[in-house]
A and B are shown apart, each in its own frame.
Chain A
Amino acid sequence: MARNDSTTDFQLDGPAAPLLEVDDLRVHFKTDKGVVKAVDGVSWHVEEGETLAIVGESGSGKSVSAMSILGLVPTPPATFPSGDIRLRGRSILKMPEKQQRKLRGSEIAMIFQDPLTALNPVFRVGDQIAEMIRTHQQVTKTVARRKVLDLLGEVGIPNPAVRINQYPHEFSGGMRQRAMIAMALANDPKVLLADEPTTALDVTIQAQIMLLLEKLRQDRNTAIVLITHDLGLVASHADRINVMYAGRIVEAGSCDDVFYRPQHAYTFGLLSSLARMDKKRQTRLLPIKGVPPSLSRVPPGCPFHPRCRFATEACVEAVPTLETVKLVDMADGGLHRAACIHSDQVEMAFQERVVE
């Protein structure tokens, strides 16, 4: 893979260093009810121009893992028992505070579900984006303003010259999301962490925003980490997928592998429980029983076993590790890994359902 490192402030650690790499990250929260293991040994990486999707249920640790990349997780209560986050091989967590701050918003930017967490209601939208530019680049106010106009135009906000002087509340939901994306793009980040960027929006607006993100990825070669629980969104935009459950990655692989050859019982469950718009009425959906566990009391062994239709005694005994799936006839030969000791049964059950 060709890497463009001339614009990075950081040296290459070696030719193999990925653009952004999360390595065995653990984020625990100390609460009165015990330790909440929000993220418990998560590793992934993303390359330029690539979209990595992180899917999972509410509370599975998706947001916390993304926010810890930007140092947005409050310590305390959070602790980081292990793990490293590397941008082109340079460890972010070990950097001095000042350098970390420099990274945020320039090399790595984040967009949130709720734009109002990123946009301050009492300042003009244009000023906020300009401010963002000027904290990271030595430019005059005029230059910054011109850049803001360009950005607003690029993210598809009509009438940028008027909008630049308005306040967030004067924007509709979709436009706020665009403004936040403009702000995230202000310093030409290499990685865009998009945490449920369209969950609060209507589908027609979601289509607009996703089209915009897709365009950015192509034009700027930005790496996108798409955090969502919407499997449809993942199917249409992701190159690779990490499925998270109870603070861990339980399955990882290319988009097609995960959708057509799920190897983890949870992924199987998710896919089977979905109603689908392209299918005539199915007699019945196949839900996953029970509820997701509390992260302060994750079940022993495979965290999914109390809800799993394939579980056996062996599942309770040890935490299954993320193993490479060995299958001939892989969709595109990518690394497909799953943490399930019954992945062969899952595969069989899934193919049976497809044939049905």
Chain B
Amino acid sequence: MTTPPQSGHEPDTQVPAQALITQFEAPEPLVEETTEAPAIKGGRRRTGQIRDIWKRFRRNKLAVVGLAVVGFLMVIAILQPFISPYDPMEQNLLNTRKPPSGNHFFGTDILGRDMFSGILYGVKLAMIVGWSVMVLSLIVGVALGAIAGFRGKAVDSIIMRVTDIVLAFPSLIGAILVVQIFGNGIWQVIIALVLLSWPTAARLMRGSTLSLRESEYVEAARSIGASDTRIVTRHVLPNAIAPTLIYSFSHIGVAIVAMASLAFLGIGVPADIPEWGTMIADAVPSLNVEGESHMWIFPSLAIVVTTLAFAFVADGLRDSIDPKLR
């Protein structure tokens, strides 16, 4: 007859003398990979997370190509004054609509300006506008979204109703209106685009703030006496920002296209500044003219390549920054 198993104190004499056996209740060995944690390895120090993100990012070939293109465009934007073969604004009415040649790689436009130099200038413009819109709408969206989400109540209602109103506006018409009010100019375009894009950022931010506000580690922070400000800045923002960041990044391409569309319509960027949308607009009469197709092909290509590159990078970021976001 056996008696049922019983838990109780185990005398230490039970343990065989064996090098293998560590002291009972010794700290558990660090798990390199817990069964739950997805594809994370080797993250040792602070840089660990960034390295992990990069590892996952690298696996997405399109994203890597996109990143290379974005990097290339940034270099061009910075070096533009030095590598531009001509002054992009210098007209030569004797040499208009010339096809690409050794002197003018991308040909010349209706006013005889060098299109290669124009496209390079366009890159600079696109980068300035794209990144400015991203950074500004991110700042505005994150701040307002976090306040709305964390504070709740009336503040939340007011901010959310404002976003509703803005989002209900057809965006192109909205942009046209804003530029009409403030007048033409690059900064006016940037402001118009920020005014139209912050609400989405704010809503995303509010959403993730709301869910984090209820999370256990925020409650844990409160339980050790952290103030609201500290909770928002230390515990909520860093964890809530990823979706908003990704959105804002993917919005760069949209902003560049929006600027070009406005310019195509003759709004926003002043007509004498070489801009891809303006270039395409200038090329409209030449659409079916033989030997003049370079006038619309190069700026269109520039737009497509730039927006695709940003879109690929945004996709890659989405998948790699936080695998849980998918």
Which chain A residue has the least Cβ–Cβ distance from B5?
Answer: A271
A294 touches B33 (CB 8 A): yes
Alpha-carbon separation in the docked complex, A276 to B4 (Å): 11
Q: Is B61 in contact with chain A by the CB < 8 A criterion?
A: no
Contact in complex: B41, A33 (CB < 8 Å): yes
Task: Contact check, B4 vs A354: say whether CB atoms are below 8 A apart.
Answer: yes
- Count of B interface residues, CB-CB < 8 Å: 28
Q: Does A31 contact B (CB under 8 A)?
A: yes
Give chain A residues whose Cβ lies under 8 Å from the Cβ of B28. Answer: 289-291
Of the stretches B6-14, B87-95, B132-140, B226-234, the one at the interface is B6-14
**Does the CB pair B5–A311 fall under 8 Å?**
no
Stretch at the interface among A105-113, A144-152, A277-285: A277-285
Instruction: Chain B residues near A294: list those with CB within 8 A.
Output: 31-35
Contact B29 A291, beta carbon cutoff 8 Å? yes
Q: Is A305 an interface residue (CB 8 A)?
A: yes
Docked pose: A332 CA to B4 CA in angstroms: 16
Contacting pair A279 B18 (CB below 8 A): no
**B25-A289 in contact (CB<8A):** yes
Would you call A295 and B35 a contact (CB within 8 A)? Answer: yes
Q: Which of A59, A286, A306 contacts B7 (CB 8 A)?
A: A286
- Cβ of A100 within 8 Å of any chain B Cβ, yes or no, is no
Interface string of B24-50 (1 = CB under 8 A from A): 111011011111000101000000000
Decide if B154 is an interface residue (CB 8 Å cutoff): no
The docked-state distance in angstroms from the alpha carbon of A305 to that of B19 is 12
Cβ B29 vs Cβ A353 within 8 A: no
Q: B189: shortest Cβ distance to chain A, in Å?
A: 44
Query: What 1/0 mask marks residues of chain A from 337 to 350 whose CB sits below 8 Å from any chain B CB?
Result: 00000000000011
On chain B, the residues within 8 Å of A290 by CB distance are 28-29
User: Is the beta-carbon distance between B21 and A311 smaller than 8 angstroms?
Assistant: yes
Q: Contacts A309-B21, A353-B10 known; A291 to B5 CB distance under 8 Å?
A: no
Q: Which of A32, A285, A349 makes the CB contact (< 8 A) with B14?
A: A349
Query: Given the interface contacts A284-B9, A312-B18, does A59 sit within 8 Å of B4 by beta carbon?
Result: no
Q: Which residues of A have CB within 8 Å of B24?
A: 289, 309
> Majority SS of interface residues in chain A?
loop
Bound-complex Cα distance A295 to B33 (A): 10
B3 near A: Cβ within 8 Å?
A: yes
Q: How far is the CB of B15 from chain A (nearest CB, A)?
A: 6
- Provide the residues of chain A in CB contact with B2, threshold 8 Å: 260-261, 351, 354
Please state if A310 and B16 are interface contacts (CB–CB under 8 Å).
yes
| B103 CB-CB contact with A under 8 Å | no
Whether B8 and A283, one on each chain, are in contact in the complex, defined by CB atoms closer than 8 angstroms, is yes
Most chain A CB within 10 A, of B5, B10, B24, is at B5
> Within 8 Å CB of B10, what residues of A?
272, 284, 286, 353
Chain B residues contacting A262 (CB-CB under 8 Å) are 5
Q: Which residues of A contact B289 (CB under 8 A)?
A: none
Q: A32-B39, A289-B25, A290-B28 are in contact. Are A355 and B3 (CB under 8 A)?
A: yes
Given contacts A33-B33, A291-B29, A354-B2, whether A282 and B20 have CB atoms under 8 Å apart is no
- Inside 8 A of A350's CB, which chain B residues have their CB? 5
Q: Does B101 contact A (CB under 8 A)?
A: no
Say yes or no: is A274 at the interface (Cβ < 8 Å to chain B).
yes
Q: Which residues of A contact B31 (CB under 8 A)?
A: 291, 294
Judging by beta carbons under 8 Å apart, are B8 and A353 in contact?
Answer: yes
The docked-state distance in angstroms from the alpha carbon of A279 to that of B6 is 8
Give the CA-CA distance A32 to B28 in the complex, in Å: 25
Bound-state CA distance A274–B25 (Å) is: 16
Q: Which of B6, B14, B21, B32 contacts A354 (CB 8 A)?
A: B6
Query: Which chain A residue has the least Cβ–Cβ distance from B31?
Result: A291
- B22: interface (CB < 8 Å): yes
Which residue of the partner chain, among A31, A297, A305, A354, contacts B5 with CB atoms under 8 Å? A354
Q: Does A43 contact B (CB under 8 A)?
A: no
CA–CA, A24 to B303, complex, Å?
Answer: 59
Q: How far is the CA of A272 from the CA of B18 in the complex (A)?
A: 21
Contacts A33-B39, A290-B28 given; does A276 touch B7 at CB 8 Å = yes
Residues of B within 8 Å of A233, CB to CB, are none
Q: Which residues of B contact A272 (CB under 8 A)?
A: 5, 7, 10
With a CB–CB cut-off of 8 A, which chain A residues contact B7? 271-276, 279, 282, 285-286, 353
A313 part of interface (Cβ distance < 8 Å): yes
| A300: min CB distance to chain B, Å | 12
**Which residues from B are CB-within-8-Å of A292?**
35
Q: Indicate the member of A350, A353, A355, A356 with the most B CB atoms within 10 Å.
A: A353
How far apart are the CA atoms of A122 and B18 in the complex, in Å? Answer: 59
Q: Does A208 contact B (CB under 8 A)?
A: no
- Verify B35–A58 contact, CB threshold 8 A: yes
A287 contacts chain B at the CB level, 8 A cutoff:
yes
Q: Which residue of B lies closest to A260 (CB)?
A: B2
Bound state CA distance, A259 and B4, in angstroms? 7
* Complex partner residue of B3 from A32, A295, A310, A354, CB under 8 angstroms: A354
Picked from B8, B22, B35, B39, the residue with its CB within 8 Å of the CB of A282 is B8
Min distance, Cβ A293 to any Cβ of chain B, angstroms: 9
Q: Which 8 A-B pairs have the closest CB atoms?
A: A59-B35, A271-B5, A260-B2, A283-B9, A282-B8, A354-B3, A286-B10, A282-B7
A-B contact pairs, 27 of them (CB 8 A): A31-B39, A33-B41, A259-B5, A260-B5, A271-B5, A271-B7, A272-B5, A276-B7, A282-B6, A282-B9, A283-B9, A284-B9, A286-B7, A286-B9, A289-B28, A290-B29, A306-B20, A308-B21, A309-B15, A309-B21, A311-B16, A313-B20, A351-B2, A353-B7, A353-B8, A353-B10, A354-B6
Residues of B within 8 A of A (CB): 2-10, 14-16, 18, 20-22, 24-26, 28-29, 31-35, 39, 41
Interface residues in chain A, defined as those with a beta carbon under 8 Å from any beta carbon in chain B = 31-33, 58-59, 259-262, 271-276, 279, 282-287, 289-292, 294-297, 305-306, 308-313, 315-316, 349-351, 353-356
Query: A289-B25, A290-B28 known; 19 other A-B pairs, CB under 8 Å?
Result: A32-B39, A262-B5, A271-B7, A272-B5, A272-B7, A275-B7, A276-B6, A279-B7, A282-B9, A284-B9, A290-B29, A294-B31, A294-B33, A309-B14, A309-B21, A310-B16, A311-B20, A313-B18, A350-B5
